[in-house]
Amino acid sequence: MQIAFLGLGVMGYPMAGHLARAGHSVTVYNRTGEKAERWCQDYGGTRAQTAAKAAEGADLVAMCVGADKDVLDLCLEAGGVVAAMKPGAILVDHTTVSATTAEALYDACTARGLHSIDAPVSGGEAGAVGGQLTIMCGGDPAPFETAKAALAAYHREMRLLGGAGAGQRAKMANQICIAGVLQGLSEALRLLDAAGLDAKAVIDVISKGAAGSWQMDNRAKTMVDGDYDFGFAVDWMRKDLGIVLDEAKALGVSLPLTALVDQFYADVQAMGGGRQDTSSLYRRFTK
């Protein structure tokens, strides 16, 4: 399949690589051209000078960029990606953005005879490198099935959850759960520290019971060690939680724990931890 991949950050670089290794013809675009050149050296694909040039002739355009503005600027501005795509092509946006942006992209694509799928991912850098991402999708069934098969090289689960925007709303729920679990885990570790118990030993025990979670298995011990220089950055989590809280306000839903954790993450940013993993929430309890 002819695929364009836009955005070669921590996630996009290995994701595009999996597609090339799976035998697809991949053209990449990245704002920093040097990174695109390095990707081509690593995987043998083609670099385009603009996002629109990458999209020309592609059967599927996958995108993993920063935020709503990046998506809208790349796709909907005059001479952008949507204008460059051929009729019937599929745009798959892996960026975590608002449901409103996902719906606007869907409407713009539909008006031009294109297909759009909002497809935010979960699994972090490790999931991208290992090709084991979970992808939550919104859009129409037929193009979804085509995209699911084409992108099989980097997902372990890819599911259509409803119409346009459904994938982004599912990702909001995902981020709420992560934030809540990390809050509970941080409080538990603070209690163990104050009580003078061996936190790692306690975690080994309680992780085998109902308290067990992915965060406990993969982050608790690094939290105890104060090791946060990896993973999903606090800055990005705050961006995501802002999207969650805006959606909740629009829906008339109260999310008190999410709002509280968002403010705690603001404290971590103020402590200089914006680029640290989200598990650095624990710093807020040990400062």
Q: How far apart are CA 147 and CA 149, in angstroms?
A: 5
Strand pairing report for 90-93 and 115-118 = parallel
Side by side, the strands of the sheet bearing 155-160 are: 121-122, 133-137, 155-160
Task: List the catalytic residue out of 171, 208, 221, 239.
Answer: 171
Catalytic residue at 208? no
Which bin fits 79, alpha (ψ -120 to 50), beta or left (φ > 0)?
left
Provide the token pair at 183: 């809050």
DSSP string, 141-209: HHHHHHHHHHTGGGEEEEEE-SSTTHHHHHHHHHHHHHHHHHHHHHHHHHHHHHHT--HHHHHHHHTTT
**Residue 111 CB coordination number (10 Å):** 9
CB under 8 Å to 129, separation ≥6 — which residues?
14
* Residues with catalytic function: 171
